[in-house]
């Protein structure tokens, strides 16, 4: 209920959304907001949002004032880097600055740190000024792009999340993007765009899309957009990215004209105009397969890997009866048939960084490996419990493993838990996220009286889900049978780190019967895993890289003394050189018999907290932010990260190879460890 207690949570959530790092508000500001907080419940009931908008105005003025202060410091320069001072880089748990004088001190330290990073990277004072002037101006430009819809969305989302962390409000733009992420398709030109300075820039041209059949190239800058063959060209220089995207997207088989500056030309170069016919574009973030060959116990095993970035489903196409609607289950079923033809010995379902998606897809996908039967139990707000069953026919009867990490959440946890409870698969990796709730998407436009309303969607928690064994994944997640090292501190990422999470609970088990029993295998598999990784140079390198990154992440402050930072940088560079030398030695020794790279899996939108954490240990700090480097340099960094051997995936394949080897030598064990009809050759 919306009472004083909930209003306090809404207020705190809104403050955290505006200023999560405590860089703009002061304790004095918060004190001045107290009347707004005290009357917030009544204001919401009456639809009066003047208080939240007034708070945003204070925030906006503070951003402008402190960016101006930073720019004055940059212009003046002359920082003393011989002082014994530090900058608190992680201010999440820091106290609010008492007043603007204290906040100015924090901003001075921030600018000094930015300057020092660039100085240590070898930049001249003139180059540093140029970079930082643009950086801080971009902060201000981003603020000025926010409109009343953004502020309203921010506050309404704080209100929604005061109930639980997964009840969210999606404004019209966010709602459209959510639909695209679930459908994995859109009507457009097939190009990935990003904002670089004042320009919307082509970051990637999607293979097979309309843009790939045009002269459009990576790095080209869009300066104008026109509709059809005759409508005027609209100048989009300086526009926010989503507004440019809205102009470029449109109905299938219509024409859009783009006025561009070629990527290899200067800003005063001659502009070119391209006409592109929009088509239905299939996005790349879909299920993909690869095959790893591993050698265990003197035998070679072909392990099929299916990487699934989300439990996607084209809801609209399914509702209208389209027989070819897109879904994760359909795509995985096709890949399993292909892997059978490839004569793989086992399959790894890679659900790392898969944050979930459609509950229906989690249930149906489970059926491809279990067959018909209950997959999950759902308890609604009235306490009513419903078993939800798979109606799919089992497609894969052979050995199966599921690879998960901390970013495997929601539908991924339903699938992994079902595989574990039914004894169908080994669960390998990190403890999962711990999201055990079900959300329903409420289209607010359909509820409006006005046909042209653009209100967005409410993503509302309506139920909890439970494993068929009666346990919940809420807070606890799914614990793997074979646990891999943590790539991120669970206190920093996961359901337990969110505000207002629902508690863990338990219900009665469903009426289900396991299809297999893997428990007798696990002690031997653990023993062989431990022995292998203990003498694996690649695994030990991964552990050392993770330890180095976690050590850096644990440091909440950083010295502003040049000599101290130079010494730390040299030590870090030496460590990176050591890591790279070890990596080259491993590659030379292995010569690729069991090599898998993250490039064999689809690109995926992942929280920065869990995206290739070890990569940070192998990249020298150039002091720049991603959009400050040339585009080709950013893309090269990404390729380098994606080309790193996927040590955890390779080890998961080895573990499955160990299982296959054990079953080959023991038909009686195979009969209990695999479902009916399953076998190993």
**Do residues 152 and 97 make contact, with C-beta atoms less than 8 angstroms apart?**
no
Residue closest to 379 by CA, chosen among 506, 500, 494, 498: 506
The span from the CA of 23 to the CA of 425, in Å, is 48
Q: How far apart are the first and last CA of the chain?
A: 60
What is the bridge-based pairing of β-strands 299-307 and 288-296? antiparallel
Contact 356, 416 (CB under 8 A): no
Adjacent-strand bridge partners of 402: 349, 427
Compute the distance between CA of residue 41 and CA of residue 48 in angstroms, rounded to an integer.
Answer: 10
CB-CB neighbours of 93 under 10 Å: 8
159 vs 497: CA distance, rounded Å: 19
Place of tokens 């001249």: 124
Residue 385, helix vs strand vs coil: strand
SS (H, E, C) 333-361: HHHHHHHHHCCCCEEEEECCCCCCECHHH
- Say if residue 676 is exposed, middle or buried (CB neighbours under 10 Å; 0-12, 13-18, 19+): exposed
* Mode of pairing for the β-strands spanning 199-205 and 191-196: antiparallel
Distance CA 397, CA 208 (A): 35
The enclosing H or E element of 118 equals helix 100-120
Which residue matches tokens 């079923």?
333
Q: Beta-carbon neighbour count of residue 280 at 10 Å?
A: 14
HSE-up (13 A, CA, CB side) for residue 638: 12
CA dist list (Å): 288 to 305, 332, 502, 601: 8, 8, 34, 6
> Could you give the residue numbers annotated as active site?
410, 421, 435
Report the C-alpha gap between 370 and 113 in whole angstroms: 55
Q: Which of 463, 492, 452, 445 is nearest to 607 (CA)?
A: 492
Helix (H) or strand (E) holding 300: strand 299-307
Contact criterion met (CB below 8 Å) for 344 and 290: no
Which helix (H) or strand (E) segment holds residue 134: the answer is: helix 125-144
Q: From CA 348, how far away is CA 336, in angstroms rounded? A: 11
Which is nearest to 176 in space by CA: 191, 187, 160, 165? 187
Residues 6+ apart with CB under 8 A from 56: 18, 151, 154
Name 403's bridge partners. Answer: 350, 428
Paired with 204 in beta bridges are 192
């Amino acid at each position: 209920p919306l009472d004083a207690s909930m209003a306090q949570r809404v207020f705190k959530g809104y403050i955290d959304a505006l200023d999560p790092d405590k860089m703009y508000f002061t304790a004095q500001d918060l004190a001045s907001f107290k009347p707004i907080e005290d009357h917030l419940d009544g204001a919401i009931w009456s639809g009066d949002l003047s208080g939240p908008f007034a708070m945003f105005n204070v925030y906006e003025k503070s951003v402008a004032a402190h960016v101006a202060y930073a720019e004055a410091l940059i212009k003046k320069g002359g920082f003393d880097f011989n002082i014994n001072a530090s900058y608190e880089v992680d201010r999440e748990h820091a106290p609010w600055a008492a007043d603007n004088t204290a906040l100015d001190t924090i901003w001075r330290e921030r600018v000094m740190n930015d300057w020092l990073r660039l100085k240590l990277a070898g930049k001249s004072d003139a180059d540093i000024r140029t970079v930082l002037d643009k950086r801080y101006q971009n902060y201000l430009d981003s603020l000025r792009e926010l409109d009343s819809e953004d502020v309203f969305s921010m506050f309404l989302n704080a209100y929604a999340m005061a109930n639980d962390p997964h009840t969210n409000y999606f404004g019209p733009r966010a709602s459209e993007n959510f639909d695209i992420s679930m459908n994995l398709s859109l009507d457009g030109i097939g190009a990935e765009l990003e904002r670089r300075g004042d320009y919307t820039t082509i970051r990637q041209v999607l293979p097979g899309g309309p843009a790939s059949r045009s002269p459009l190239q990576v790095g080209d800058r869009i300066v104008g957009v026109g509709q059809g063959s005759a409508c005027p060209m609209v100048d989009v220089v300086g526009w926010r990215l989503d507004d440019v995207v809205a102009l470029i997207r449109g109905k299938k088989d219509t024409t859009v004209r783009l006025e561009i500056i070629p990527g290899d030309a200067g800003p005063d170069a001659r502009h070119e105009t391209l006409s592109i016919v929009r088509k239905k574009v299939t996005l790349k973030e879909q299920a993909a397969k690869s095959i790893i060959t591993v050698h265990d116990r003197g035998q070679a095993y072909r392990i099929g890997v299916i990487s699934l970035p989300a439990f996607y489903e084209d809801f609209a196409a399914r509702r209208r009866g389209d027989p070819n609607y897109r879904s994760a289950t359909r795509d995985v079923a096709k890949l399993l048939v292909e892997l059978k033809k490839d004569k793989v010995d086992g399959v790894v379902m890679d659900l790392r960084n898969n944050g979930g998606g459609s509950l229906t897809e989690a249930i149906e996908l489970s059926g491809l490996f279990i067959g018909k039967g209950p997959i999950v139990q759902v308890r609604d707000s009235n306490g009513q419990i419903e078993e939800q069953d798979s109606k799919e026919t089992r497609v894969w009867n052979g050995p199966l493993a599921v690879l998960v990490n901390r970013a495997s959440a929601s539908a991924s946890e339903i699938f992994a838990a079902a595989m574990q409870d039914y004894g169908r698969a080994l669960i390998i990796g990190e403890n999962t996220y711990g999201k055990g709730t079900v959300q329903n998407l409420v289209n607010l436009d359909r509820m409006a009286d006005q046909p042209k309303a653009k209100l967005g969607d409410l993503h509302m928690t309506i139920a909890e889900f439970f494993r068929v064994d009666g346990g919940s994944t809420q807070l606890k997640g799914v614990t793997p049978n074979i646990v891999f090292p943590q790539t991120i501190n669970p206190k920093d990422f996961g359901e337990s780190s969110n505000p207002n999470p629902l508690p863990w609970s338990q219900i009665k088990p469903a009426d289900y019967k396991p299809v297999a029993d893997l428990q007798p295998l696990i002690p031997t598999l653990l023993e062989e895993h431990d022995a292998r990784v203990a003498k694996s140079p690649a695994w030990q390198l991964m552990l050392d890289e993770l330890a180095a990154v976690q050590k850096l992440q644990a440091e909440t402050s950083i010295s502003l003394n040049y000599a101290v930072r130079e010494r730390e940088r040299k030590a870090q560079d030496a460590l990176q050189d050591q890591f790279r030398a070890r990596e080259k030695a491993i590659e030379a020794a292995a010569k690729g018999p069991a090599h898998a790279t993250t490039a064999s899996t689809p690109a995926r939108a992942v929280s920065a907290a869990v995206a290739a954490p070890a990569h940070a240990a192998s990249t020298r700090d150039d002091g720049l932010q991603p959009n400050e480097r040339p585009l080709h340099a950013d893309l090269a960094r990404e390729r380098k990260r994606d080309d790193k051997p996927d040590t955890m995936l390779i080890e998961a394949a080895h573990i499955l190879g160990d299982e296959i080897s054990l079953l080959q030598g023991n038909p009686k064990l195979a009969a209990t460890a695999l479902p009916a009809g399953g076998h190993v050759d």
